[in-house]
Each structure stands twice: as C-alpha cells, then as structure tokens.
C-alpha cells in the first residue's frame, strides 16, 4: 500500500511543478484572480464528480474545521502568487516550500512525535539541495523583502492545511475533503478580492491556462498530497515539493528556453537524494 501511496505522491510532485510555469502564461491576471479560479474550478469539478460516483455524506462536525483549512489554503495561494509578483521566482519557490519545517516543529513539540535520524538527514538534505538549486538567483535586497515574507507565510499556511488534512482524512475520502476544502478556499479568495477591489474576470485566451492550472497543479498535484497525508506524516508529504524547483526549472527550459545551470544539476541531485533517504527512512518514529 505504501508503495502505491508513494507513486501517487510522486505524481503529485509532477503536478504541482506546473503551478509557477503555467502562471507565467497569464501575467496580466492578478494573483488573487489566478488563485480564485484554481480553487473555484477545482471545487466545481469535484462536486460534479458526485453525479458519476456518490461520495457519501460528510459529518457536519467536520465542516467548521475544513472551512478553517480552506481559509488557510486561500491565504497560502494569495501569499504565494503575490510573492511571485513582487520577488524573484527563485525566492518565492524556495520560501514557499518550507512547510515541512513548520510541520516538523508541530509534530515534534505539540504531538511529541519523532522522526528517525535518517529521515531528518534526508529532510535537511532536501532543503539544502533546494537552496543550491535556487542559490545563484536568490536575492535578499530591500525590494524583495516583502516577497520573501509572503512566500514564507505561504509555507506556514500550507503547514496548517497539511496538519488539519491528516486529521480529517482518517475518516473522509480525498474527493469529499478536497471539494469542501477548495470551496471554502474559493469563497475566502473571492471575499478578499472583493474587499481589495481586484477584478476576478478573465479573457477567453486565458481559459485554457486556467483549466491547466485547475487540472495539473491542483487536481493532480494537491489532491495527490491530500490523498497521501492519510497514510504518511504531514512532514513527509510536505517535503515532496522540494523537488518542485527542479522540475519547474526543467519545464521552464522546455517551455521558455531558459538555461539550466550546474547549480541546478548539482542541487537537484542533492534534493532528490534527500527525498529518497527521507522516504526510505521515514519509519514510524516515537509517537
């Protein structure tokens, strides 16, 4: 079963890696607009799937906690896409993948869980590799400070989503959970957009890219992570996006002709090694 879950998680990694490259095809759309339609469209498709296969019912007691997760997911996307708008993509991608650091802190000090030493080594190798991948492009000038903070905040918000997802997914199907999760995220993003006076409309040429953002990074990417979190710890699941900068760089080379430097090759190797070690040594630890 675990091997199957890991395959699903790897598929999710490929899915989320399309998030940043696809967003570059709609540069005229506001961050909130992109995030809103990702969530609204994904929720609508998942609710529609119920007409094909019934998903059962959801306990009313779970709806408030899922709504909280939806709010934090909305804040994650709002901060991430806002960071991309005001800071180099290297900064945003790196700082936005630090969710496992915060889930690790929560698991260790609140849940009193321990990760095996080998898994911790793998985690820090993955982080170090991600830094190397982005190293040549990371900037910390005054103009990027806001973007760095927004991206870091997006990691904190995603950590909360993963922590809540672990609890809810124990007795709730992936589709049942995510269709409510994305619904509440869309409502939150829509409300923020209205208050901020952001236009949510988009043109016909943008439709195909919006659909691609719905299907690849959301329904394949995030849904895979929400599936896996039922069987693996949030820290393990949250670590998989460390491979996102590598795949995103490859996609940027393929789609936009951007060059791939040696730091990407070397850092990518370190990150992938760390992820393999983290996966093999994840164990159960002390509970």
Supply 119's token pair. 């898994």
Instruction: Return the pLDDT at 249.
Output: 67
Range ranked top by mean pLDDT from 126-130, 132-136, 212-216, 262-266: 212-216
Exposure string for 208-237, b = 16+ CB within 10 A, e = fewer: ebbebbbbbbbbbbbbbbbbbbbbbbbbbb
Q: What does the pLDDT average to over 146-152?
A: 84
- The domain limits of the chain are 2-111+139-233
250-260 pLDDT, tens digit each: 776 777 676 66
Asked whether residue 142 carries a pLDDT value surpassing 60, the answer given is no
List strand residue ranges (DSSP E) for 59-212, in order: none
Instruction: Return the pLDDT at 245.
Output: 66
Whole-model pTM?
Answer: 0.85
**Distance in angstroms (rounded) separating the CA atoms of residues 114 and 100:** 14
**Distance in angstroms (rounded) separating the CA atoms of residues 170 and 168:** 6
Instruction: Return the pLDDT at 134.
Output: 63
Structural contact between residues 164 and 4, judged by C-beta atoms closer than 8 angstroms: no
Exposure string for 49-62, b = 16+ CB within 10 A, e = fewer: eeeeeebeebeeeb
Q: What does the pLDDT average to over 230-247?
A: 80
Helix/strand/coil percent split, the chain, to 5 = 75, 0, 25
Distances (CA, A) of 38 to 35, 45, 106, 257, 268: 5, 11, 28, 26, 28
Residues 266, 279, 121, CA angle at the centre, nearest 5°? 60
Instruction: Return the pLDDT at 216.
Output: 95
Instruction: Return the pLDDT at 67.
Output: 97
């Amino acid at each position: 079963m675990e091997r199957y879950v890991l395959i699903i998680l790897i598929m999710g990694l490929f899915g989320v890696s399309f998030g940043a490259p696809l967003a570059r095809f709609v540069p005229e759309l506001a961050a909130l607009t992109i995030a809103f339609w990702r969530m609204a469209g994904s929720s609508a498709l998942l609710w529609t799937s119920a007409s094909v296969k019934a998903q059962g019912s959801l306990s009313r007691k779970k709806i408030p906690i899922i709504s909280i997760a939806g709010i934090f997911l909305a804040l994650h996307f709002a901060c991430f896409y806002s960071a991309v708008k005001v800071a180099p993509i290297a900064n945003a991608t790196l700082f936005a993948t630090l969710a496992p650091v915060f889930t690790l802190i929560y698991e260790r000090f609140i849940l009193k869980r321990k990760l095996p030493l080998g898994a911790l080594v793998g985690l820090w190798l993955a982080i170090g590799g991600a830094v190397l991948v982005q190293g040549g492009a990371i900037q910390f000038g005054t103009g990027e400070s806001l973007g760095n903070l927004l991206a870091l905040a997006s990691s904190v918000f995603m950590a909360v989503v993963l922590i809540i997802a672990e609890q809810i997914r124990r007795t709730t199907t992936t589709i049942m959970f995510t269709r409510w999760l994305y619904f509440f995220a869309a409502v939150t993003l829509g409300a923020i957009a209205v208050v901020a006076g952001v236009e949510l409309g988009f043109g016909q040429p943008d439709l195909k890219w919006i659909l691609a953002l719905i299907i690849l990074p959301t329904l394949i990417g995030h849904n895979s992570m929400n599936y896996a979190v039922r069987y693996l710890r949030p820290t393990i699941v949250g670590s998989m996006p460390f491979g996102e900068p590598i795949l995103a760089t490859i996609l940027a080379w393929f789609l936009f002709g951007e060059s791939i430097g040696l730091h990407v090759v070397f850092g990518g190797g370190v990150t992938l090694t760390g992820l393999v070690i983290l996966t093999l040594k994840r164990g159960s630890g002390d509970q």
